[in-house]
Amino acid sequence: MKRLFLIAMLGSAFPALADRLPMPANAPASFTSECSSCHIAYQPALLQANDWHKLMAGLSEHFGSDATVDRKTEQEITAFLERNAGNASRLGSAGNPPRITQTARFIRKHDEIPAKYWRDPRVKSKANCEACHPGAAKGSYSEHDISIRELRE
Ligand code: HEC
Ligand code: HEC
């Protein structure tokens, strides 16, 4: 019992860095307003700068949606995403069009999830982070905070 308590204390004192992807404090208001209506505003650390650049250059055909914004807003959001992008060698390439869910890092972090969960009606898409990570919009991806009970360890 004492030992468990100690482990819990250590766990909260040194949370694994990978769990927490906070939104940078300097995020422009346009990013949240333009990029969180169809899905969460994905944290910039989830893609490398090149991939954000590619994605932002193709907003008129954004995964079957038109996500166009005016030019000034597009420049503002692109600059913010590139400035706060993730580490290219840790993430790996995201494919074309770039997807967070195609980066080597995402695949590695989720490789123990049985395929049927990606098709589960509660989930529907890998891009639907919030289906499993209720704190995703706030940047919390801890394996201890997973809303699908069968996937909790
Ligand atoms: C009109 C709706 C809409 C808006 C607005 C929108 N998106 Fe998307 N986005 C989508 C759809 C639909 C997908 C594909 C989701 C899926 O595959 O389940 C997507 C996917 C993505 C992905 C890839 C997720 C994956 O599969 O890894 C990224 C990154 C992304 N959007 C970023 C943005 C950014 C940045 C903005 C703001 C400039 C934005 N989106 C605005 C609809 C939208
Ligand atoms: C089907 C449910 C599901 C979906 C959807 C999902 N994840 Fe996960 N994710 C998990 C589970 C379960 C784990 C814990 C895996 C483990 O540690 O073995 C995890 C782990 C993670 C981790 C690592 C956390 C750590 O402690 O190292 C990150 C980061 C992450 N997910 C981000 C995302 C992002 C970003 C999305 C959306 C683009 C997403 N996940 C979509 C279930 C999901």
Does residue 17 form part of some domain? no
pLDDT interval class at 12 (50, 70, 90): very low
Does residue 18 form part of some domain? no
Does residue 99 form part of some domain? yes
Does residue 48 form part of some domain? yes
Residues 6 or more apart whose CB falls under 8 angstroms from that of 17 comprise none
User: What's the total number of domains in the chain?
Assistant: 1
Residue 15: the pLDDT is: 45
107 alpha carbon, distance to own chain's centre: 12
User: Best mutation site among 141, 149, 151, 152 for ligand 2, i.e. most ligand atoms within 8 A of its Cβ?
Assistant: 141
Over residues 58-72, the pLDDT tens digits come to 999 999 999 999 999
User: Is the pTM here over 0.85, yes or no?
Assistant: yes
CB 104 less than 6 A from any atom of ligand 2 = no
Helices (H), the chain: 2-13, 29-35, 49-56, 71-83, 88-91, 104-109, 116-119
Residue 19: the pLDDT is: 77
pLDDT interval class at 2 (50, 70, 90): low
Structure-token pair, residue 102: 């195609």
Structure-token pair, residue 4: 């468990």
Does residue 57 form part of some domain? yes
Closest residue by CA, ligand 1 atom 38: 35
Does residue 16 form part of some domain? no
CB 20 less than 6 A from any atom of ligand 2 = no
* Structural domain that includes position 107: 28-147
Query: What's the CA angle centered on 126, arms 137 and 144, to 5 degrees?
Result: 55
pLDDT above 70 for 3: no
Residues 6 or more apart whose CB falls under 8 angstroms from that of 93 comprise 51, 102, 103, 104
Over residues 19-32, the pLDDT tens digits come to 789 999 999 999 99
Over residues 72-125, the pLDDT tens digits come to 999 999 999 999 999 999 999 999 999 999 999 999 999 999 999 999 999 999
